[in-house]
């Protein structure tokens, strides 16, 4: 018998203090934990709940996906349609929301089985805390196929998904679309604090083992979404050097350049080579710097400041991530690490509180030592407000204050991240001139860098007008001169666009002062292989051509 499945994320609103959440848990990655102190210059965008679409795409049964519903929309769906199973994906800070949704399922559809998934499923004893029938830990596609009696080892079908939506800076909508590319899940590095590596048992599970497979998926998604840029959702993409080099070879073979934003460790970057990263089209890389004193194998013996500088000199923007409130940190020495991370001079900086999350080795160690503060509700376990363990040298209030000071110091010293990105593009375009002159492929990638840089240069009047200090105003002037030298004089059309952008930014600033600038992700409902002629519906028009309903295709494709 064919089962009908409902897959859902937790309900909104997000970033508000209510019975189900906290205002610090904003559903915007950068605005929550990277550019949060940069005011109107903060990068703003939303990500979809990607895993839900992957699960729905890779089974043959009728599935409905609810992404960012309200509580009322979730209840309405349960009352309108009968389901055999309801899968709820959540993270620890959304524990209360997941529990409420499970209770609603039991009340409205008591015959439906409840499946818990996502990183929240790693919470110890979650089976007793939230009404459920199954808990999925680790990779979920094969689990769901097995649950439905389907072939676990069938090929993975990659949906065409936009990486980020509702993108804007200074209130100015940013053009262009980047697609999502997921080579696999997990990580073999095993860092003691990392929930991802432990959630997948310190393994890297490949969905696509060959670079050729990644390339063919990238070509198809590029054609469907009309973009050549991708955000690669992989904890350490360059770790599989052979696969990345094969992807590059395929691109060069067909003369089809792509651009990639990736996560990678310092050791993987050095092994792969920054020249190869340029050729591959990497334009952004997220690197775990962690701490000056507490190093991991991925960073040992490596000059991170030199690596960051070389990446930026080649036009690759860098996000350096640091950890605060490690065991050795005291009020007297913590600024040594804060200064260390800031002095890397990356385009972006993330500071996270040292947070033992369920399933990690750190959690197990701290639990055994009685250090975890289980009186702190899960809603606060997100690393951007309160420590969830008893630090020997910091109270909760002290830690909150120091975290805020670290973000403000980074902004004061290095200026807005948008400005730094603009500088990186200009540096890379200038520095790659000689290589591009003798290598047509590098010339192609360099022209893509120029397009990105000239697009950012349009924001120069806005960056100048919104500069928050004399240091930043001087920085704007230097970058403007770099752009002029790299790209030549700015055309009249771009200058007019810059003035128009400034007008939009000023209008947004007024609106934000009067009404606030909280952005809630848009609700989306998508039905797959739905019977009785039901069609996909959504609250807002969306651009997801792969997510149209399937009629009778056995492969589950439209």
User: Shortest CA distance to 171 belongs to which of 66, 42, 326?
Assistant: 42
Per-residue pLDDT band at 347 (split at 50, 70, 90) = very high
Q: How far is CA 311 from CA 247, 273, 279, 305, 480, in A?
A: 20, 10, 13, 10, 21
What backbone torsions phi and psi does residue 46 show, to the nearest 5 degrees? -120, 145
Contact in structure between 285 and 269 (CB atoms under 8 Å): yes
Distance CA 472, CA 468 (A): 6
Which are the contacts of 78, defined by CB distance < 8 A and separation ≥ 6? 6, 86, 104, 105, 108, 109
Q: 166-205 b/e with 16+ CB inside 10 Å = b?
A: ebbbbbbebeeebbbbbbbbbbebebebbbbbbbbebebe
Q: pLDDT for 99-156, tens place per residue?
A: 999 999 999 999 999 999 999 999 999 999 999 999 999 999 999 999 999 999 999 9
Residues 6+ apart with CB under 8 A from 103: 131
Average pLDDT, the chain: 92
Taking phi over 0 as left and psi of -120 to 50 as alpha, with beta for the rest, 273 belongs to left
| Mean pLDDT of the 393-414 span | 97
pLDDT value of residue 532: 65
Asked whether the beta carbons of 47 and 29 are under 8 A apart, the reply is yes
What local confidence, expressed as pLDDT, does residue 409 receive? 98
- State the pLDDT at residue 293: 84
pLDDT per position as a tens digit, 215-259? 999 999 999 999 999 999 999 999 999 999 999 999 999 999 999
Backbone CA torsion sign across 442, 444, 445, 449: positive
- Is 5-157+522-547 a domain of CATH 3.40.50? yes
Q: Is the pLDDT of residue 334 over 50?
A: yes
- Other C-beta atoms closer than 10 Å to the C-beta of 213 total 20
- Number of helical H runs and strand E runs in the chain: 21, 17
Is CATH 3.40.395.10 the right assignment for the domain spanning 176-414? Answer: no
pTM above 0.85, yes or no: yes
pLDDT over 60 (residue 551): no
pLDDT surpasses 70 at 73:
yes
> What CA–CA distances, in Å, run from 67 to 12, 58, 122, 166?
10, 17, 21, 15
Residue 331's pLDDT is what? 96
- Beta bridge partners of residue 348, listed in sequence order: 319
Nearest C-alpha neighbor of 50 from the set 558, 433, 530, 526: 526
The band of 535, judged by pLDDT with boundaries at 50, 70 and 90, is: very low
Cβ proximity of 102 and 24 under 8 Å: no
C-alpha to C-alpha distance for 272 and 174, rounded to whole angstroms: 31
450-502 pLDDT tens trace? 999 999 999 999 999 999 999 999 999 999 999 999 999 999 999 999 999 99
Residue among 221, 210, 170, 211 at smallest CA distance from 50: 221
| pLDDT above 90 as % of the chain | 86
For 425-444, what is the mean pLDDT? 97
Using DSSP bridges, classify how beta strands 113-117 and 134-135 pair: parallel, antiparallel or unpaired: parallel
Domain assignments of the chain as residue spans, ordered by start = 5-157+522-547, 176-414, 426-490
Phi, psi at 222, each rounded to 5°: -60, -45
pLDDT in tens, 163-174: 999 999 999 999
Predicted confidence at residue 413, as pLDDT, reads 98
Taking the CA atoms of 408, 409, 410 and 413 in sequence, report the sign of the dihedral they define: positive
State how far Cα 445 lies from the chain centre. 24
Cα–Cα distance measured from residue 93 to residue 516, given in angstroms and rounded to the nearest whole number: 24
The DSSP output letter for 52 is H
Report the distance separating Cα 511 and Cα 143, nearest Å: 47
């Amino acid at each position: 018998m064919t089962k009908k499945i409902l897959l859902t994320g937790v309900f909104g609103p997000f970033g508000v203090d209510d019975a189900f959440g906290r205002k610090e848990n904003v559903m915007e990655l950068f605005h929550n934990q990277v550019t949060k102190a940069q005011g109107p210059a903060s990068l703003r965008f939303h990500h979809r709940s990607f895993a839900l679409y992957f699960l729905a795409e890779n089974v043959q049964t009728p599935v409905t996906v609810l992404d960012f519903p309200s509580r009322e929309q979730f209840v309405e769906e349960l009352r309108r349609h009968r389901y055999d199973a309801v899968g709820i994906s959540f993270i620890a800070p959304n524990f209360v929301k997941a529990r409420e949704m499970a209770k609603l399922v039991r009340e409205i559809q008591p015959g439906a089985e409840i499946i818990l998934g996502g990183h929240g499923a790693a919470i110890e004893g979650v089976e007793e805390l939230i009404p459920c029938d199954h808990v999925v830990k680790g990779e979920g596609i094969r689990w769901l196929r097995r649950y439905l009696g389907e072939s676990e080892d069938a090929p993975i079908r990659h949906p065409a998904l936009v990486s980020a939506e509702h993108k804007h800076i200074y209130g100015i909508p940013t053009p262009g679309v980047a697609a999502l590319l997921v080579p696999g899940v997990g990580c073999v590095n095993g860092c003691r604090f990392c929930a991802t590596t432990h959630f997948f048992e310190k393994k890297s599970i490949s969905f696509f083992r060959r670079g050729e497979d990644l390339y063919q998926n990238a070509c198809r998604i590029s054609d469907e979404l009309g973009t050549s840029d991708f955000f690669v959702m992989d904890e350490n993409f360059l770790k599989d050097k052979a696969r990345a080099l094969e992807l590059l070879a395929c691109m060069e073979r067909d003369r089809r350049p792509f651009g990639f934003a990736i996560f990678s460790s310092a050791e993987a970057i050095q092994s792969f080579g920054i020249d190869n990263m340029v050729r591959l089209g990497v334009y952004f890389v997220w690197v775990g710097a962690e701490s000056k004193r507490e190093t991991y194998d991925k960073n040992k013996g490596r000059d991170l400041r030199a690596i960051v500088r070389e990446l930026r000199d080649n036009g690759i923007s860098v996000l350096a991530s640091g950890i605060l409130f490690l065991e050795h940190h005291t009020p007297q020495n913590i600024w040594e690490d804060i200064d260390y991370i800031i002095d890397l001079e990356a385009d972006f900086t993330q500071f996270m509180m040292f947070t033992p999350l369920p399933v990690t080795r750190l959690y197990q160690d701290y639990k055994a030592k009685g250090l975890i503060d289980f009186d702190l509700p899960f809603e606060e376990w997100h690393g951007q407000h309160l420590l969830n363990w008893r630090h020997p040298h910091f109270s909760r209030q002290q830690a909150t204050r120091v975290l805020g000071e670290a973000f403000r110091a980074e902004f004061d010293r290095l200026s807005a991240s948008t400005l730094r990105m603009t500088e990186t593009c200009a540096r890379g375009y200038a520095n790659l001139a000689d290589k591009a002159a003798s290598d047509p492929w590098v010339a192609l990638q360099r022209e893509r860098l120029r397009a990105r840089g000239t697009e950012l240069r349009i924001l120069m009047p806005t960056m100048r007008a919104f500069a928050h200090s004399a240091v930043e105003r001087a920085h704007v002037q230097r970058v403007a001169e770099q752009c002029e030298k790299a790209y030549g004089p700015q055309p009249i059309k771009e200058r007019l666009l810059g003035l128009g952008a400034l007008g939009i930014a000023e209008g947004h600033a007024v609106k934000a002062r009067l009404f606030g600038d909280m952005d809630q992700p848009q609700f989306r409902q998508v039905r797959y292989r739905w019977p009785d002629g039901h069609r996909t519906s959504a609250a807002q028009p969306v651009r997801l051509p792969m997510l149209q309903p399937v009629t009778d295709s056995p492969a589950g494709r439209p």
